[in-house]
Structure 1
């Protein structure tokens, strides 16, 4: 018993043990502090990486700037690429559709122009958390007041706060793209083989209500097409003998950018091709610019100024 007590008292009073204990505590604190600094550094690097463009500049002289939008947990970067005089302005609104981005950058490399690319993690839908619940919608369903709740409702319940955030996001995108100043909207979309194509707009098919007229070139891949809201543009593309759809004036309001364009009487072009059809994407872009400026010569004159 005495040895046990002596051993305890000796352990408590031992200077070497106290020094070791203090040293250990200090080392532990230093380690925790170092780990804290390390974790903060990693977090900052991740945040910086998140704000970087997913499609970095591919050629000398291409410049970019980013407008950041935050919708609760979702960060959206509107990355604007510009090269030389901005003769044409493209818009990509789905972040999982990169063939259009690459084709637009290739066009810009030789002819000049601007591309606004919506980047939010390489996925199709906006996914927003609000008050413990998760909501999602297609980014191409946020451009009309009536269409926003319809778009959300496809995936679940509607939340008023999420609706307001999506309204603000649409306004920011439109302000940056500025279709009123341009006089047109030129979007780029990609689709999956067999899931969607020119036949989707024929009578008896899913999107027949959205179409007024359809012209088909049967030598083209049915997944590659152009969608317009303007009869003059439709006529021009028909003469070029490419797959083209003219939106119906009675098309249901799904919140899409083409509906917004129709309501605001802005000529709208969507070049839509299958993922990976880069050459066809570029060819249709070139045809679309030709048809746009032929139908509206003043737009070509404005672009040259």
Structure 2
């Protein structure tokens, strides 16, 4: 989607890290940057002036970081989660810090970050802190499902814009066989080989359609969260799909995206397939 990259700011260090990530992403991908601050009702007297100053400070920092990027700002009112989910409808992606102050308190482990990641209409990137080391590597979890295909498409765009390697992780847990069953080890090995071959074959069209990107892959017989946590140690970004329904119909983060958000220290993108316009 050719909308802006929206970043929520609140003056905290994690929100500043999110702003820096979003500005760099906008520069890499040639997209406009939209900086928003949600001024909540409980902020009290002088809140509007304080919120406006927070927004202007963030905008100035972004101009310094990415002077050639088209930029806009807006002061929003109401609840943080609802405002940011609404922004996601017309955004390329929404970027948030992981542990902001005020309305962003408890981000990721708290309700705001999880709500936005779980209900946004498109990709949500959660940034825990400034990047210390860049690895030139994007990691994506892929199982062939519609959510993982959306994640793969986003990861490919990220890899291309950064001239980075794309590493695809396919992981699953095999059924538990009785240790007393005959040929127990052979059955496990055959099941793993079948799953691994299917995973490799699912990548063939992606490699054919994107010959300019170095795509590596691994197949693991373990829980996907564990596999992605290990792969994330040398990643600049981890991308996972979301199986949610969008809107506020239900709690929509699945176990994989939830687990990765809680345990991976590099930026994490949670990607949901966008609903087709009626």
TM-score (norm 2): 0.29
The structure with the larger Rg is 1
Bigger relative CO (Cα 8 Å, ≥ 6 apart): 2
TM-score (norm 1): 0.27
